[in-house]
Amino acid sequence: MKVMGNWFRLHFLENEGMAFGMKLNEAPTGKIILTLFRLVAVVFGFFLLKRLVDKLYSKGAIICGALILAGALGNLIDSIFYGMIFSHSSYHIREVAQFVPFGQGYGKILQGKVVDMLYFPLFSGTFPKWVPGVGGNHFEFFEPVFNIADAAISIGVLTLVFFQKKLIHKKTVPVPVQDA
């Protein structure tokens, strides 16, 4: 569905794996391992964020950590429960997943897909013939479809990378001066 011209669309996509649809393997155990890894990462993220707060790190670092943690938690919730509460969808017959009673979805616990929906195909074109390996091929710039959780993770990580000197520091607490 077009939201703003051709450059911002809502596009329903169920991602079975990680970034760009990468999977550990095709077996259900690969999805379960990925979901359990996400669970461990989120639990670790809560402890790490609490530590940042306790050690008086800057508000910017804490906000970035919270964005990363919130995004990871959102994707984790989809991975755990989405398959249990939604029906199977099919791209080929334009059948979108439907909400169903708990436990009657297409999958079991820990086997849900993550729903991506934000699509920003800013421009497209054809690589010049002289470009090695891709010459003459069609391309689209910004082709990945992502969700709000992915955006939160990306914003948190990129902000920390680009502004680390400004953000990653502890607050200095003034030490009271005693009279001699």
**Per-residue pLDDT, 51:** 95
**Per-residue pLDDT, 20:** 63
How far is the first Cα of the chain from the last one, in angstroms, to the nearest whole number? 73
| Structural domain includes residue 172 | no
| Structural domain includes residue 123 | yes
The tens digit of pLDDT for each residue in 20-51 reads 666 777 777 888 888 999 999 999 999 999 99
| Structural domain includes residue 126 | yes
Annotated catalytic residue: which of 54, 78, 116, 179?
116
- Structure tokens given for 114: 């993550």
Name the CA dihedral angle for 93, 150, 124, 131, rounded to a multiple of 10 degrees: -120
**Total number of domains constituting the chain:** 1
Of 14, 26, 20, the residue nearest 79 (C-alpha): 14
| Structural domain includes residue 174 | no
Stretches where the chain sits below pLDDT 70 are: 20-22, 91-92, 170-175, 179-180
Q: Is 150 a catalytic residue?
A: yes
| Structural domain includes residue 88 | yes
Residue in the structure block whose two tokens are 């809502």: 10
| Structural domain includes residue 98 | yes
**Per-residue pLDDT, 179:** 67
Name the CA dihedral angle for 64, 68, 71, 72, rounded to a multiple of 10 degrees: -160
**Per-residue pLDDT, 127:** 92
Annotated catalytic residue: which of 54, 78, 150, 179?
150
| Structural domain includes residue 178 | no
Q: Please give the DSSP secondary-structure letter assigned to residue 142.
A: T
